[in-house]
Structure 1
């Protein structure tokens, strides 16, 4: 990386700080341990199907938490979650923390796993996530889910991948999907424009060039279909660039006719624990998600 390169007037050192999500917390390890603890608790509490294959490689698997009491006559909306980790860390086994609350609310939850960089390219990671969506659209009725009501979500790099699933442009035909295969999206602290990463540490494992960065940037692709509910949020303590990217993506989606909303996250502490708001209807994110998925939002508890 050339330290003389700049982006929007920021030198290399500042760009590294802006895109250093881990640097915004004192110690990431307790948070990652909490991801696994909450996922293990969900698996202990809920019927689930772990490690279902959506593709030929070991990494191409997903976990399904069926909706309670749902069946073909009363299919439930589907929440499909893609984990973050800057495309090089984490697993579906760390990423089901929201399942307990969302299943209780009436959703079918799917947690996607994918191969990690640098062992595969970002194009391959996107392809795997799109293949996972195709599997869910084709098979989720077997688990009480409605293939016409798939709401995609992700945090950080997972928000980038979820936005790639929501993007237009006709890619859906290659995967046997309808154009509106995605019914909505909830994107937490995401990355939607990848060109600045060419000048930062993440490109050590992404190995992008300018053309590939543009082709893999949801902010530069055809937007989601008009009317699609898009919820965007960033946690307190995020860097300016994560905030800018979120605001710019939401504005572009709104300009394309999406029902794009910037949802506050006052209960989150940082870039990493914002995911814990997804299954909590007392948070702005949790309540907005239930509304977007057309699930009932619980009222305040009686005094």
Structure 2
């Protein structure tokens, strides 16, 4: 799976999900790999943003339950995390946090992409031959 921003959060949540809790016949490695682009991995900072909190209305319990960085490291798969090097310090912090939380074995790629910001990083993903495009293709193999 690949996700950007809140979608990067969802990619990590899919990786962390204990699928057998929902259906015993689902494989533990239902989602084998993920690429999170500018992902959000702890929602405390989202809860503290008045603009976002007015719509989301997160409470502390939801923040803990829905923050991949505070979940156990998944037992299978791998997550690659990338962020534009020109993004805000908060996005860069989240990007580093998931590798710190889950470890370099599970998050072996944790790269800040030079010259890219929160929006043009997606153009890089779609452009054949770019580093990010090649990462996505590698994960698909």
Q: TM-score, normalised by structure 2?
A: 0.86
2:12 and 2:79 in contact (8 A); partners too: no
State the match for 2:6 in structure 1: 157
Query: 1:153: how far off?
Result: 1.1
Equivalent position of 2:58 in the other structure: 208
Cα gap change, 1:259 to 1:203, in 2 (>3 Å) = closer
Q: Which has the higher contact order (CA 8 A, sep 6+)?
A: 2
Change (3 A) 1:177 1:194: same
The equivalent position to 1:186 in structure 2, one of 21, 35, 43, is 35
Q: Which residue of structure 2 aligns with residue 243 of structure 1? A: 92
Q: Deviations over 1:192-227 (max 9, x none)?
A: 10012222121111101111111010111122224x
RMSD across aligned C-alpha pairs, in angstroms? 1.9
Taking the TM superposition and a 5 Å limit, the aligned residue runs for 1:37-76 are none
* CA shift for structure 1 position 277: 1.9
Residue 223 (1) aligns with residue 70 (2): no
List aligned pairs for 1:58-207, cutoff 5 A: 152-168=1-17, 170-175=18-23, 177-200=26-49, 201-207=51-57
Question: Contact 1:231–1:289 (CA<8 Å) still a contact in 2?
Answer: no
| Distance in structure 2 (CA, Å) of the matches to 1:276 and 1:173 | 37
* Mapped partners of 2:40, 2:95: distance in 1: 7
What is the TM-score of this pair, normalised by structure 1? 0.43
Distance 1:225 1:290 in 2: 23
Does 2:133 match 1:286?
yes
Shift of the alpha carbon at 1:187?
0.2
Out of 105, 113, 137, which is 1:265 matched to? 113
1:254 pairs with 103, 113, 137, which one?
103
Change (3 A) 1:259 1:164: closer
Q: Please identify which structure carries the higher helix content.
A: 2
Maintained 8 Å contact 1:234/1:243: yes
**CA offsets 1:237-294 (integer angstroms, 9 cap, x no match):** 2111110111010232225x315211342353x2122112223342211112212222
Distance in 1 separating the partners of 2:111 and 2:131: 7
